């Protein structure tokens, strides 16, 4: 599905340069939940954002769908993210002035996936039901609990049927019970839809849901 | 789905405040502009409502019509050559039977034929006098009979009183004329005389110039302020939303669509606010009391509206560079601890 090859990434502040990734090679497979773990500062988020086309590499390549992301321009990366990737962040980052259903509608439109009005409405209902939020379809984020927001964020990450969902610590702001609910959801999605999930977590409890656990240590995969 | 509209619906108060500010500033601008126009109409409607043309005065008058002296010989020669007619203006007083004095501008003008011993007054005097009344110019001891009224004939904030040539000679104590008016836009050149276009001539009237300059300055200040207000308001709203913009860009929303959202909001607010302030501005035309000169001209009002919209557009767009600048990753990381 996606191949990360010899990814290196350095950040330089003035004279000082810090190498955060030192040649990471990783394959992300469809229908599988891959968990990236490791201590804070080990480069997990950096690797995830490079894979998601949100950040450039210093060297190495990111192969996806026969293309190398490192050679695409900003507009091509945008189109790729909109059409093929889904995102779940630590904080849900929902649009404050849109209802649950409208969040999905916006993402559906952004992805360019062409659906009739009726089909789009049906699809939105289906995905909201999938995350157990259909009854909250007209709710605004400021009336939702943290767990509910994260469910809507997951629904938004799925509505356009992306090939890969990137999730950076999606349960970090939730209590244990809600974290397990969210993890079950992510796990089920990979089996049901064949979508690949690349997830960052440093919560040991959540690793049980992963098909594969990759530990990052010192800028390398251990 | 319309993001712009959705946001306005959810944050009604915020956008209502912005709209109210635009409404108030534009209303103030229209009112001042109406006053400027009304005042200039009150000052010099006699001249403003003449056709385009050239005003000739003697070159040694230093652009002051009251100092201009055009000898009858030269006057008759210019008029026979170029057409047009002579004009003289002099401030003075008329006294009625009950010894009440009214300040007027005595006007002899070739396009207002009046017989000797009669005067035609500006319609603003209709409330005090009627046709057939007798009014006296005390310095010369001449008594006139009111022969009628004409609209929009004020000069130097005083109603005009049109006289015959002979009577004007009595009052001004000279056979010479102050001005020759020649209709048409061709620049005239007659030796010893200086030609002014209508607007140039209006600006030689000292009070006219002073009034218009200060009021127009206020109008332009208000427009500049409104531009800044737009800029600042959208800047603040954009700063609040910058994280959201970053996230949306991360999800793949086009920067262009985010700008379009801002522009749509700007246009909706401006349209509503301007519609409200224009309708109030125009309705003041009907209700403004007679002694408060207010006249909002439609052409000016719509020009100002266009300027408002443009200035708002630039203010908002300038503040929108942040939208272009925000990196998705930056916004995503801001949510983390
Ligand atoms: N934009 C950046 N500029 C400078 N340093 C960065 C930047 N992003 C990440 N880093 C550094 O890279 C290292 C790894 O960060 P990150 O990938 O966020 O780690 P993790 O997600 O595993 O906690 C950290 O030391 C962090 O300070
Ligand atoms: Mg991280």
Q: Locate the chain B residue with the closest alpha carbon to A76.
A: B252
> Whose CA is closest to atom 10 on ligand 1?
A11
On whether both B61 and B189 belong to a single domain, the answer is yes
Tell me, rounded to whole angstroms, the distance of Cα B213 from its chain centroid.
10
Same structural domain, B186 and B78: yes
A210 contacts: CB under 8 Å, gap ≥ 6: A33, A34, A35, A199
Report how far residue A144's alpha carbon sits from residue B328's, in angstroms, rounded to the nearest whole number.
24
- Give a yes or no: residue B203 inside a domain: no
Please tell me chain B's helix, strand, coil percentages from 3-state DSSP, rounded to the nearest 5.
60, 20, 25
Q: Is B248 on the interface with A (CB under 8 A)?
A: yes
Q: Is residue B85 part of a domain?
A: yes
Low-confidence stretches of chain A (pLDDT beneath 50): none
Query: Token digits for A86?
Result: 């889904």
Tell me: do B214 and B186 sit in the same domain: no
A41 in contact with ligand 1, CB cutoff 6 A: yes
Q: What is the ipTM of this complex?
A: 0.92
Which of B173, B196, B219 represents a domain boundary (last residue)?
B196
Identify the DSSP state of B157. T
* Listed residues B171, B196, B221: the one ending a domain: B196
Which one of B174, B196, B218 terminates a domain? B196
Same domain, B73 and B182: yes
CATH of the domain at A22: 3.40.50.300
Is A54 domain-assigned? yes
Question: What is the model's pLDDT at position B123?
Answer: 92
Q: DSSP code of B70?
A: B
- How many whole angstroms from A67 Cα to the centroid of ligand 2? 26
User: Could you list the residue range(s) of the whole structural domain that residue A9 is in?
Assistant: 2-95+154-221
Which residues 6+ apart lie within 8 Å of B56 measured at CB?
A: B70, B78, B179, B180, B181, B182, B188, B190, B193, B194, B195, B196
Cα gap B244→B237, rounded to integer Å: 11
Number of domains in chain A: 1
**Cα–Cα separations (whole angstroms), residue B277 to B20, B27, B273:** 10, 5, 6
β partners of residue A61: A5
| pLDDT digit string, tens, across residues B321-335 | 888 988 898 888 875
Q: How many domains does chain B have?
A: 2
Does residue A130 lie within any of the structural domains? no
Q: Is residue A27 part of a domain?
A: yes
Give chain B's length.
Answer: 337
* Whether the Cβ atoms of residue B293 and residue B42 lie closer than 8 Å to each other: yes
To test the contact with chain A by mutation, choose from B1, B243, B252, B258 the residue with the greatest count of A C-beta atoms within 10 A, namely B252
- Flag whether A53 is in a domain: yes
The pLDDT score that the predictor gives to residue B1 is 62
Across B216-228, average pLDDT: 84
Residue B81 lies in a domain: yes
Note whether B11 contacts A: Cβ–Cβ < 8 A: yes
Tell me, yes or no, whether B153 and B124 share the same domain. Answer: yes
Mean of pLDDT values over B10-17? 92
Can you give the length of chain A in residues?
222
Give B243 to chain A, closest Cα distance, Å.
9
What local confidence, expressed as pLDDT, does residue B337 receive? 43
| Pair (B79, B23) in one structural domain | no
Same domain, B61 and B182: yes
Which of A91, A102, A107 is the closest to B6 by Cβ? A102
Q: Do A89 and B332 touch (CB under 8 A)?
A: yes
Residue B179 lies in a domain: yes
A43: Cβ below 6 Å to ligand 1?
A: yes
Among candidates A90, A55, A84, A49, which has minimal Cα distance to A67?
Answer: A84
B40 — pLDDT class (breaks 50, 70, 90): confident
For residues B142 and B108, membership in a common domain is answered with yes
Q: How far is the CA of A41 from the centre of ligand 1 (A)?
A: 6
Residue A117 lies in a domain: no
Rounded Cα distance between B178 and B200, Å, is 16
Is residue A162 a part of any domain in this protein?
yes
Pocket test of ligand 1: the residue of A20, A38, A202 to mutate, having most ligand atoms within 8 Å of its CB, is A20
Mean per-residue pLDDT over chain B, rounded: 89
The residue segments making up the domain with residue B121 are 53-196
Q: Which atom of ligand 1 is nearest to the CA of A48?
A: 17
pLDDT at position B295 over 80: yes
Residue B204 forms part of a structural domain: no
Q: Does B231 score more than 80 pLDDT?
A: no
Residue B336, pLDDT > 60, answer no
pTM: 0.81
Q: Are residues B229 and B165 in the same domain?
A: no
- The contacts found for B196-200 with CB under 8 angstroms, 24 or more apart, are B196/B54, B196/B55, B196/B56, B196/B57, B196/B63, B197/B52, B197/B53, B197/B54, B197/B55, B198/B47, B198/B48, B198/B50, B198/B52, B198/B53, B198/B55, B200/B55
Mean pLDDT value across residues B47-60: 92
Band the pLDDT of B237: cuts 50, 70, 90: confident
Same-domain pairing of B67 and B186: yes
Query: Does a structural domain hold residue B235?
Result: yes
In this structure, the answer to whether residues B175 and B247 fall within a common structural domain is no
Comparing CA positions, the residue from B54, B137, B254, B296 lying closest to residue A83 is: B254
Q: Are residues B189 and B216 in the same domain?
A: no
> pLDDT by residue (tens digit) across B146-168?
999 999 999 988 999 999 999 99
């Amino acid at each position: 599905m996606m191949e990360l090859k010899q990814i290196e990434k350095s950040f330089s502040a003035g004279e000082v340069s810090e190498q955060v990734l030192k040649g990471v090679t990783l394959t992300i497979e469809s229908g599988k939940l891959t968990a990236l773990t490791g201590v804070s500062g080990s480069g997990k988020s950096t690797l995830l954002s490079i894979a998601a086309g949100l950040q450039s590499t210093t060297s190495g390549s990111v192969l996806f769908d026969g293309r190398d992301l490192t050679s695409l321009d900003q507009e091509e990366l945008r189109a790729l993210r909109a059409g093929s990737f889904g995102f779940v962040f630590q904080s849900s980052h929902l649009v404050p002035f849109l209802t649950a259903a409208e969040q999905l509608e916006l993402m559906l439109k952004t992805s360019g996936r062409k659906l009739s009005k009726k089909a789009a409405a049906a699809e939105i209902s289906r995905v909201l039901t999938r995350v157990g939020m259909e009854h909250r379809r007209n709710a605004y984020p400021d009336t939702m609990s943290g767990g509910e927001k994260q469910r809507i964020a997951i629904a938004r990450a799925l509505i356009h049927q992306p090939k890969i969902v990137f999730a950076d610590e999606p349960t970090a702001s939730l209590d244990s019970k809600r974290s397990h609910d969210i993890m079950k959801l992510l796990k089920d999605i990979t089996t049901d839809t064949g979508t690949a999930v690349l997830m960052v977590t440093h919560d040991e409890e959540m690793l049980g849901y992963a098909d594969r656990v990759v530990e990052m240590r010192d800028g390398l995969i251990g | 789905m319309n993001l712009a509209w959705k946001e306005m619906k959810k944050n009604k108060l915020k956008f209502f405040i912005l709209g109210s500010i635009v409404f108030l500033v534009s209303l103030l601008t229209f009112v001042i502009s109406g006053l400027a126009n009304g005042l200039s109409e009150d000052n010099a409607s006699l001249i403003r409502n003449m056709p385009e043309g050239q005003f000739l005065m003697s070159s040694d008058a230093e652009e002051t019509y009251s100092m201009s002296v055009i000898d009858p010989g030269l006057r008759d020669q210019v008029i026979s050559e170029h057409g047009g007619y002579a004009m003289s203006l002099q401030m003075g007083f008329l006294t009625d039977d009950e010894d009440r004095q009214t300040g007027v501008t005595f006007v002899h003008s070739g396009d207002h034929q009046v017989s000797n011993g009669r005067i035609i007054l500006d319609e603003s005097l209709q409330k005090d006098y009627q046709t057939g009344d007798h009014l006296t110019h005390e310095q010369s001891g001449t008594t006139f009979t009111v022969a009628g009224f004409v609209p929009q004939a004020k000069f130097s904030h005083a109603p005009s009183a049109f006289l015959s040539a002979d009577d004007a000679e009595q009052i001004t104590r000279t056979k010479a004329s102050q001005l020759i008016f020649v209709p048409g836009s061709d620049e005239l050149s007659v030796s010893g005389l200086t030609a002014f276009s209508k607007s140039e001539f209006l600006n030689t009237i000292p009070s006219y110039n002073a009034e218009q300059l200060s009021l127009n300055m206020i109008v332009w200040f208000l427009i500049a302020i409104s531009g800044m207000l737009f800029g600042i308001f959208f800047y603040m709203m954009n700063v609040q939303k910058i994280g959201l913009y970053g996230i949306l860009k991360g999800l793949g929303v086009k920067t262009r669509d985010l700008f379009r959202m801002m522009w749509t909001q700007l246009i909706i607010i401006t349209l509503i606010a301007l519609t409200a302030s224009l309708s109030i501005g125009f309705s003041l035309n009907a209700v403004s009391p007679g002694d408060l000169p207010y006249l909002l001209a439609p052409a000016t009002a719509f020009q100002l509206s266009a300027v408002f919209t443009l200035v708002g557009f630039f203010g908002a767009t300038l503040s929108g560079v942040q939208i272009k600048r925000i990196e998705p990753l930056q916004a995503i990381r801001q949510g983390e601890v």
